[in-house]
Structure 1
């Protein structure tokens, strides 16, 4: 992490490190990739229905756009993958495709023990690791490899979707900023940019909003707004800020203004940006009380952020950040900062200002801090 006396850069660095602490780590990502590739192989080796069918499998949702967050108080991640079956949906009833996927998975000794059929997916429960929602999908037309129909076996209908298109839409918006505030700060410190600092402000802002959502609705998660609603609104209201904190504040404030100005009493529709016929917020029409929970959440997070901006002193800021985004991510971020301080100290690169603030000597004029020998020498 960066060691600086600039308060804005410190906040930026802490927010990025907290978001990283709550996301899917590389080790678990590799286990996820191995798991879904094995599922694809098992389906492709089916001697019956899938024997001559081309199958493509790929992650969708937060994994595909880099916004994963661990559910609050749990160790498992909720992750989605698409089983893109290269058959035309118009040639099949949706329940047939769904049932064939369930049948094949249940023929596997491991999958049949951990599978749980849902309305639009089959959930595989890898205890203590992740819940993998396997979403079957068929081609809509042969010349479009992004558009798919998902079988809703409960209602016996096809549902149009475009996960690859959504991924591209979101990433294109996130990439509107080429050099972030953190990347500039690392360059100013003349050190290599660390991986956690390379993620775009929109991605980090979405992670932070979801982290706050998970805590806010911890006791009643069924009332929480879905990740697709929060992610889509964040991308639509993102204005290309190079700073995580500025992006977060602008997004939350814009959503709040949108609600207060146009929809204070009734839900609004949220068309899928790559499939306008799909209302991503259709749950609010079926259960209007969920929209009221959403309004309360946005108002709460807006007021919390305003309080954080007005906080005085490190201790008050720390308590507010832990309350908003979780104590564990904050502690892990501070541990990473402590490691950076110790490393700088040992390398002779740590300085101290007259105010007592530790800084990077390569960037700010300061007195040197001697390495800690633990013997008072």
Structure 2
């Protein structure tokens, strides 16, 4: 089936804006390098302990940094870097509180770490001011998990809870490697007249970052922006968004063919709720989003304790779908800027629009800017008969 070129080009350009927005929400190369050095140093310090039980420990990344889905918190400069300190010498016979204390005591023995150490309910935090903080959660082997899962303390430090950060990371990356099928666009260089030609789908070249990672970042940023004026404690946690997006992405990629990456984004977000389990137990709803890589970890367990959190998820999801539609329909840079700002925050939206203006100014000066009917100003290559060149301008009233 022939794909109308003008809407397709607009979708490509819109997703390109979201791509640049995500780039602005990630740690800088300097921050990433320092975080890497810091967590490696912490691992070496823990393993160098005189306690043989700590000497066998290993430390590794989990969460958004490990998955490549990090977004900068609104109004903050620090990033979360989640780490696991795995202690294979321990078993369930060790109380979670004591396990956490052993790790904390070792960190306190280092004067530098002691000065920046903060105790959290389940982990220890090292605060590197205005850059990032390392959250170190202890874990022990889970003998009951066939997937090499682990056990981590619950927030009360009274029980061990099933988890599997490495298994979850591997499952996410496997899905992220899936490439959606994109319909072949008619070449802009060839002005063909076969509007009814059937076009076979072919695998689209994935972006460097990965489409699934970008979709998760977009959803997480929209969540942060949406709940900024609401109760942030009711916002869906990142692992729920990440899990549902990954399952939805796999389903969409395996069952659909798309015109653009923007269409993939719409489809993945739209189908996320379909993967939430909803059962009636004793007359009340029981929600479940199970961790497929281990037994017994329900990411939606808080929804069953506080049903309002489930309601807030569905309300946020509906608003995000509406905002994506508004973004697709936005006209002009002013309309586009307002839609981006309301959905993803003023600062990144302003930077992206300014970047577009600077780019247009540069290509205008080089006489590369053209006006395409139905699209507007563009630097994309199109048949000459369908575009009108825009004269260079110094913006001082003279060409």
TM-score (norm. length: structure 1): 0.83
Q: How does 1:200-349 map to 2 (within 5 A)?
A: 200-219=210-229, 220-238=231-249, 239-240=252-253, 243-256=260-273, 266-341=285-360, 344=363, 348=366
Q: CA deviation at 1:102?
A: 0.6
Instruction: Kindly indicate whether the alpha-carbon contact (under 8 Å) linking 2:327 and 2:340 is maintained by their aligned counterparts in 1.
Output: yes
Instruction: Kindly indicate whether the alpha-carbon contact (under 8 Å) linking 1:217 and 1:224 is maintained by their aligned counterparts in 2.
Output: yes
Corresponding residue SS for 2:287: coil
Residue 193 of structure 1 corresponds to none
Corresponding residue SS for 1:266: strand
Separation (CA, whole Å) in 1 of partners of 2:317 and 2:377: 36
Corresponding residue SS for 1:110: helix
Instruction: Kindly indicate whether the alpha-carbon contact (under 8 Å) linking 1:80 and 1:132 is maintained by their aligned counterparts in 2.
Output: yes
Q: How does 1:94-113 map to 2 (within 5 A)?
A: 94-113=96-115
Q: CA deviation at 1:206?
A: 0.9
Instruction: Kindly indicate whether the alpha-carbon contact (under 8 Å) linking 1:60 and 1:82 is maintained by their aligned counterparts in 2.
Output: yes
Change (3 A) 1:268 1:276: same
Instruction: Kindly indicate whether the alpha-carbon contact (under 8 Å) linking 1:98 and 1:153 is maintained by their aligned counterparts in 2.
Output: no
1:120-153 residue CA offsets vs partner (Å, 9 max, x unmatched): 2112222211232111112235997842121337
Q: CA deviation at 1:373?
A: 7.5
Deviates more, 1:13-22 or 1:88-97: 88-97
Residue 177 of structure 1 corresponds to 179
Higher relative contact order, structure no. (Cα contacts within 8 Å, ≥ 6 residues apart): 1
Residue 72 of structure 1 corresponds to 74
Instruction: Kindly indicate whether the alpha-carbon contact (under 8 Å) linking 2:20 and 2:352 is maintained by their aligned counterparts in 1.
Output: yes
Q: CA deviation at 1:115?
A: 1.8
1:63-112 residue CA offsets vs partner (Å, 9 max, x unmatched): 11111001112111222111122324245332222111010111122222
Q: CA deviation at 1:60?
A: 0.7
Q: CA deviation at 1:117?
A: 1.9
Separation (CA, whole Å) in 2 of partners of 1:62 and 1:308: 26
Q: Within the alignment, does 1:48 sit opposite 2:59 as a pair? A: no
Separation (CA, whole Å) in 2 of partners of 1:361 and 1:300: 32
* Cα RMSD for the two superposed structures: 3.4
Change (3 A) 1:325 1:180: farther
Q: How many pairs are equivalent?
A: 362
Instruction: Kindly indicate whether the alpha-carbon contact (under 8 Å) linking 1:88 and 1:140 is maintained by their aligned counterparts in 2.
Output: no
Q: CA deviation at 1:282?
A: 0.7
Change (3 A) 1:352 1:79: same
Separation (CA, whole Å) in 1 of partners of 2:30 and 2:159: 38
- Residue 129 of structure 1, aligned match among 115, 128, 131: 131
Instruction: Kindly indicate whether the alpha-carbon contact (under 8 Å) linking 1:139 and 1:145 is maintained by their aligned counterparts in 2.
Output: no
Q: What stretches of structure 1 of length at least 5 have no aligned partner?
A: 190-195
**Higher Cα Rg, which structure:** 2
Deviates more, 1:109-118 or 1:361-370: 361-370
Q: CA deviation at 1:325?
A: 1.0
Corresponding residue SS for 1:83: strand
TM-score (norm. length: structure 2): 0.79
Instruction: Kindly indicate whether the alpha-carbon contact (under 8 Å) linking 1:205 and 1:245 is maintained by their aligned counterparts in 2.
Output: no
Separation (CA, whole Å) in 1 of partners of 2:18 and 2:76: 21
Instruction: Kindly indicate whether the alpha-carbon contact (under 8 Å) linking 2:340 and 2:349 is maintained by their aligned counterparts in 1.
Output: yes
